[in-house]
Amino acid sequence: MRYFFLLAFLLWIKADLPARTNPVFSDVAVVSHARVSDDNNSGGGSDEPVSEVDRTIQQWLEEGLEIHQQNSGIPSLISFYAGQQMGMPYVDGLLDEPDEERLVVTLDGTDCVIYVEMSLALTMTTLQGKTAAGDFRKNLAAVRYREGTVDGYGSRLHYFSDWLITNQDEGLLTLLFQEDELPGIGPVRFMTGNRERYRHLAGNDRHWRQIREAEERLDDRVLRYIPADRIPEFEPHFQSGDVLAFVTTIDKLDISHTGLVLMDGNRAGFYHASLTGSVITDPGTIHEYVQRRETIRGIVVARLSAS
């Protein structure tokens, strides 16, 4: 799934919730040291963790619930979970390691989208008043897969614009700054046009057709973005924990990188899984980061819904 984020980086060199109904997460892969192995505990309500990953997630959730019970808001809660993942190494292609599509849960490696998904799913679980790793996995499936259902390669929300629009449609996110006067992201065809770069597409026509169908569905939706030079105008309206998506100039691709907003007074910074290393708090502001990169057109910002 996430190979196109690495491809985008290489081209540079040349950011109580309703869970979706009945999410399917019977196939769970726990990634340890960037390798995938099966975790047979796929239940949603068990209080007994069966792996080190589950134990860590449950510990985070217990600490997060304590924070939430102290009347901490959603921005603080997302920031807490974003901070728990600091220093995690960037590893590309983690979700594509299994031969068959599975819900991958990883703490030993991440990418820019997994980092955002993990932070939001942990927050959603806390807002539901739950602390079991299985409940977290339900929420992770809810944000990563169409209708929250793991049903083959095509069920994953591969394009981040699709991820944003679908999660808004499901009531999990609110897309901000979608005024008609802002430019829209053009049609996407990057994956189907570069199928040889994706191991699950290269020799599988069914997967290719599923991705093409997803691309065509996006043709009917307009996702608007803040142009790079106008970011300072919108910064006062950002909140810590907002989802941040960087719109690319790469032909037929929508988003090249993602992160989470970090507000410090009036300074709009961000956390992200850096393509060059690990999860970090970026030393620059969002605007400074964009200004240094000619391949970024602007940004899309979304917010986790409060209910």
CATH number at residue 135: 1.10.3670.10
CB within 8 Å of 179: residues ≥ 6 apart: 224
Residue 124's Cβ-side half-sphere holds a number of Cα atoms within 13 Å equal to 28
* Mean pLDDT in residue range 192-201: 96
Mean pLDDT confidence for 175-191? 97
pLDDT in tens, 105-147: 989 999 999 999 999 999 999 999 999 999 999 999 999 999 9
- How high is the pLDDT of residue 136? 98
Does the pLDDT of residue 33 top 70, yes or no?
A: no
CA 3 vs CA 6, 37, 127, 210, 290: distances in Å: 5, 20, 32, 17, 21
Is residue 25 pLDDT above 80, yes or no? no
Q: Residue 11 pLDDT > 80, yes or no?
A: no
Tokens matching residue 236: 């006062």
Q: Which domain holds residue 34?
A: 3-304
DSSP notation for 13-41? H---PPPPSS-B---EEEEETTEEEE---
Q: Which residue has the higher pLDDT, 44 or 295?
A: 295
**Is residue 250 scored above 80 in pLDDT?**
yes
Number of structural domains found in the chain: 1
The chain-wide mean pLDDT, for the chain, equals 88
Average pLDDT of the residues in 37-66: 72
pLDDT band of 277, cuts 50, 70, 90: very high
Would you state the structure tokens that stand for residue 304, as one six-digit string? 């986790």
Tokens 């300072």, residue located: 232
Is residue 6 pLDDT above 60, yes or no?
A: no
State yes or no: pLDDT of 179 exceeds 80: yes
Q: Mean per-residue pLDDT for 93-104?
A: 96
Q: Place 42 in a pLDDT band, splitting at 50, 70 and 90.
A: very low
Residue with tokens 């989802």: 243
| pTM, to two decimals | 0.88
Between 4-18, 115-129, 182-196, the lowest mean confidence (pLDDT) is in: 4-18
CB atoms within 10 A of CB 197: 14
pLDDT-above-70 percentage for the chain: 83
Q: Is the pLDDT score of 254 beyond 50? A: yes
